[in-house]
Amino acid sequence: MTIIDYSLALAQHATHPGFVWGVHRKMNPPCLQDQMMCAIAAVSGEIILRADLSGLGSASQVGRVLRKVVAAGQLVRLGYGTYAKTQPSPLSGKPIPRQPLEALAWEAMERLGVEVSLGKAMADYAAGRNHQIPMRTSLHTAGRCISRQLRLGLRTVTYTHDGR
């Protein structure tokens, strides 16, 4: 079941005539995984932060369900508390992020409140000053050292800062 299927099923479940949470014996309230899938579907963008789901249960419950969702291939873990929405790969059928790592890293830093810009090699390539395609994803953080790692497979995002 995809994220959208979960939210549609829950919406149909909750709009059933005569439905009241916990009163109807045949209709139990949605489990934590269903609630999390609806919350994930409601998040705009591709990045899901653990903080987006923290109000749904305890830290261990949220972590347990996130591991199940990652194992099912509906999310991919990029780093501590950072996940991305997925789609099946056209080549292998395995889950891959819907956006490239560069876009995911940029969105994750924006969601975390960190101002970022392109790293030197990426900025030179984008401006046409260099014709070599940068092999590493590098983001520049203005005066702020970032210790968070974002990783997808063997690719890792690196951060540079001006040390002020």
Phi, psi of 120 (to 5 degrees): -60, -50
Tens digit of pLDDT for each residue in 74-126? Answer: 999 998 989 999 999 999 989 999 999 889 998 998 888 888 888 888 888 88
My answer on whether 118 and 70 are in the same domain is: no
Q: Which two tokens stand for residue 149?
A: 């790692």
My answer on whether 112 and 79 are in the same domain is: no
Q: Which DSSP symbol is given to 49?
A: E
My answer on whether 109 and 57 are in the same domain is: no
**Domain carrying residue 109:** 100-164
Whether pTM exceeds 0.85: no
Q: Which DSSP symbol is given to 133?
A: P
My answer on whether 8 and 73 are in the same domain is: yes
| Position with higher pLDDT, 152 vs 11 | 152
My answer on whether 87 and 113 are in the same domain is: no
